[in-house]
Amino acid sequence: MNKITEELLKEVADFKGSFEGAYNIREDGGCAGRQSTKNIQITSKEDLPGIDIHIAPGTKGETVYIPACVTHSKVDDLVYNDFFVGEGADVVIVAGCGVHSEGDDQARHNGIHRFFLKKGAHVVYKEKHLGTGKGKGLRRIDPVTDVYLEEDSVLEMDTVQLGGVDRTVRKTNGVVGARARLVVRERLMTDGDETARTDFDVTMEGEDSGVDLMSRSVAKGHSHQEFYSCIKGKARCTGHSECDAILSENGTVTAQPALEASHIDASLIHEAAIGKIAGEQILKLRTLGLTEQEAEARIVEGFLK
């Protein structure tokens, strides 16, 4: 593992010199370290770049780390990672991604992750993205997340990108079975000339299935964000999406949320708000002794916490 990978891992995957339990570290398209455990087996794919992660039924309290780093320009890394989570398992999956570029060429990571959760499984999936380095080459991260939830399973996805990624297109697709739930929390901040596009497409097929999608973003500088979501209810189900964006300086945001109900008992709600920080919020914090700049920073920090 090189120095840059080590630094990126500290930021995106809580790396403290080593990982405990199962892990696979991907560096510039290669493997920089792997460990399986009794309950979590990590194997290379034979037909495609990437790995299969098999989590045994009933596994409780384990964390799997599968971070990926691109440490220089002229790298276009494409990886397919599949997670097979056994019945009743309850685990945390940490999949941080960092791209670093000092050159004029692009550095890109494109991770295609598929999650197959068996009956009653529970996964907390943490995804943190970061771009570093001063090269002119674009830093790109284009993740695709496909989720298949069997009955009574729950996937909580926590995705964070707070800076340095010049271009990103983030696609999340899901099929939710009976009494299963998909919860997605996205936090995104763009600055400079960065662009970010988010696409959510989730179908609730099982009775009493549920989706809760919350996106909070801040667009600064001349950055641009696009948010598209489509929640489809094909059974008795509840779907909720909430998209809040704060504009700062010359940042721009497009939000196009969509709901599709094709069952009489599908209950779908969408809430969306785009705007600058409310003047009264800044004023309130100023009456507590903060300057205008401190107040703005604190509001953004809390919003994206």
Bridge-partner residues for 141, per DSSP? Answer: 109, 168
What are the tokens at 253? 């945001």
Task: Give the span between the Cα atoms of 20 and 236, in whole angstroms.
Answer: 41
Q: Which of 162, 183, 272, 304 binds another protein (CB under 8 A)?
A: 304
Longest dimension (CA), the chain: 62
Site string for another protein, 240-279 (x = CB under 8 A): ----x---------------------------------x-
C-beta of residue 202 within 8 angstroms of C-beta of residue 181 = no
What are the tokens at 81? 């990672």
Report in angstroms how near the CB of residue 97 gets to another protein at its nearest.
24
Interaction between residue 280 and another protein (CB under 8 A)? yes
Report in angstroms how near the CB of residue 291 gets to another protein at its nearest.
5
- In 3D space, the residue among 53, 20, 18, 19 whose CA is nearest the CA of residue 39 turns out to be 53
Task: Give the span between the Cα atoms of 227 and 219, in whole angstroms.
Answer: 12
Name the DSSP letter for residue 287. Answer: T
What are the tokens at 64? 């799997």
Interaction between residue 30 and another protein (CB under 8 A)? no
**Nearest residue (CB) to another protein, 207 versus 242:** 242
Task: Give the span between the Cα atoms of 71 and 17, in whole angstroms.
Answer: 18
Interaction between residue 285 and another protein (CB under 8 A)? yes
The length of the chain is: 305
What is residue 56's three-state secondary structure? coil
Interaction between residue 283 and another protein (CB under 8 A)? yes
Q: Which of 151, 292, 296, 297 binds another protein (CB under 8 A)?
A: 292
Report in angstroms how near the CB of residue 143 gets to another protein at its nearest.
24
Report in angstroms how near the CB of residue 70 gets to another protein at its nearest.
31
Report in angstroms how near the CB of residue 157 gets to another protein at its nearest.
19
Interaction between residue 76 and another protein (CB under 8 A)? no
Report in angstroms how near the CB of residue 286 gets to another protein at its nearest.
4
Residues that contact another protein, how many (by CB under 8 A): 22
Phi (first) and psi of residue 19, to 5 degrees: -110, 145
Write out the binding residues for another protein, residues 192-221 only, by CB under 8 A: 216
Q: Give contact residues for another protein (rule: CB under 8 A).
A: 216, 244, 278, 280-281, 283-292, 298-299, 301-305
